[in-house]
Structure 1
Amino acid sequence: MTDETEAERDARHAEKMRRIKAARAEMMKTKTEEKGLVIVHTGNGKGKSSSAFGMILRCVAWQMPCAVVQFIKGTWETGEKKILRERFADEVTFVVSGEGFTWDVQDRQRDIAAARAGWERAKALIRDPAMRFVLLDEINIALRYDYLDIDEVVDFLQTEKPQMTHVCLTGRSAKPELIAAADLVTEMSMVKHPFEDGVKAQKGVEH
């Protein structure tokens, strides 16, 4: 235990922050490249789509043309779909390709057809030179069930995605091939969830 005064602690803190700022300034000199990122949000925790839709709102704020192609969820009404379609339809193209969760549809061939249709729309949007950010929401589920071919998706992202276009792919169980090809991967882990205690999905929090 020292008898350091508050003034001495403040001075030590200021010196520490000065060193951190100087080191960060040197580091930032090496970060000069700009590119469109392939981003993956996966894991069993909540927040994968929520985070991705946060990026969509950032694009809207910066007047960057963007699009959402929503796989699997289909007709399920969500707050993000409601606000983007009602208030930002000119800024955000919103495509729903699924008919609902796989356990609701219960028809593999219909699920495959819906996923393929969504992927075709997604490719067209990504190829559009005016588009800056495309969110493929829950596509990892379609890939997990092999409704879409992972090699085709990865090859397209690596060879046909325009240099400055960002693409975000969300959903649990992202395949290793996609993780290897991505620039940015975040895995959300569940620590605790009210569903385990019998609480249903809450409006404004989970949809």
Structure 2
Amino acid sequence: MDDTTPETPAETSDEARHASKMAKKKAARDKIMATKTEEKGLVIVHTGKGKGKSSAAFGMIFRCIAHDMHCAVVQFIKGAMHTGERDLIQAHFGDLCEFHTMGEGFTWETQDRARDVAAATKAWEKAKELIRDPANRMIVLDEINIALRYDYIPLDDVLAFLRDEKPATTHVVLTGRNAHERLIEQADLVTEMELIKHPFRSGVKAQPGVEF
């Protein structure tokens, strides 16, 4: 005995309308996609008060690794504390991704501007070296926006380098709060992470697997 209940005319009509709507949407989308033919190296900015700026950047790094693309990370602020991303990359993917942690911790930890400037300057020199290398498809400059905000490295130098010296096919991702409006204007892709709720405000400390 067949227990299948036949569709009612109303259900059949709803399915037909849905299929027609999706077909029109696909045709419109395909028409738009047919006009997108250019490939270029992007300047990408992740900023905002919300969590996820560096995490999103590392997601792209792992995509590059999955595609056997050479890439690199330069951390401008984070110090010697171990993080899951760095440990995993250095242990298993060091042949594809260089990882340079060149900060000494957050600015309130060092309390030494000259030392912070020196560390940021050294990190920027390493970043330029990696970006200039055409073998690298993507470079993440983690927390560089903080270094720029505190004038540890000159904004004009960073903007001019990205405009004039970055290879045409290289992607550069800049993370950190308070991205400068001039950097946002020059970038190709900008995402602002909005803070709606965070457990830190309820007394929950940073935890492995979530923050590091």
Tell me the residue number matched to 1:128. 133
Write the distance in 2 (CA, Å) between the matches of 1:4 and 1:92: 58
* Unmatched tracts of structure 1, length 5 or more: none
Kindly provide the amino acid, as one letter, of the partner of residue 197 in structure 1: S
Does 1:99 pair with 2:108? no
Identity of aligned residues (%): 63
Shift of residue 25 of structure 1? 0.8
Write the distance in 1 (CA, Å) between the matches of 2:211 and 2:23: 41
Shift of residue 4 of structure 1? 7.3
Tell me the residue number matched to 1:72. 77
Does 1:49 pair with 2:54? yes
Question: Residue 27 of structure 2 aligns to a residue in which SS?
Answer: helix
Tell me the residue number matched to 1:180. 185
When normalised by structure 1's length, the TM-score is 0.97
Does 1:164 pair with 2:173? no
Q: How many residues align?
A: 205
Shift of residue 76 of structure 1? 2.1
Larger deviation, residues 45-54 vs 96-105: 96-105
Tell me the residue number matched to 1:83. 88
Deviations 1:112-166 (A, max 9, x none): 0000000000000000011110000000000010001111100000000000000
Tell me the residue number matched to 1:138. 143
Write the distance in 2 (CA, Å) between the matches of 1:41 and 1:53: 11
Q: Select 1:155's aligned residue among 152, 160, 180.
A: 160
Q: Select 1:26's aligned residue among 28, 31, 51.
A: 31
Greater C-alpha Rg: 2
When normalised by structure 2's length, the TM-score is 0.95
Write the distance in 2 (CA, Å) between the matches of 1:11 and 1:181: 46
Shift of residue 86 of structure 1? 1.0
Deviations 1:57-93 (A, max 9, x none): 0000001100000011121221111111111111100
Write the distance in 2 (CA, Å) between the matches of 1:147 and 1:174: 14
Shift of residue 203 of structure 1? 0.8
* Unmatched tracts of structure 2, length 5 or more: 1-7
Kindly provide the amino acid, as one letter, of the partner of residue 171 in structure 1: G
Question: Residue 5 of structure 1 aligns to a residue in which SS?
Answer: helix
Kindly provide the amino acid, as one letter, of the partner of residue 51 in structure 1: A
Alpha-carbon RMSD: 1.0
4+ runs of 1 displaced by more than 2 Å? none
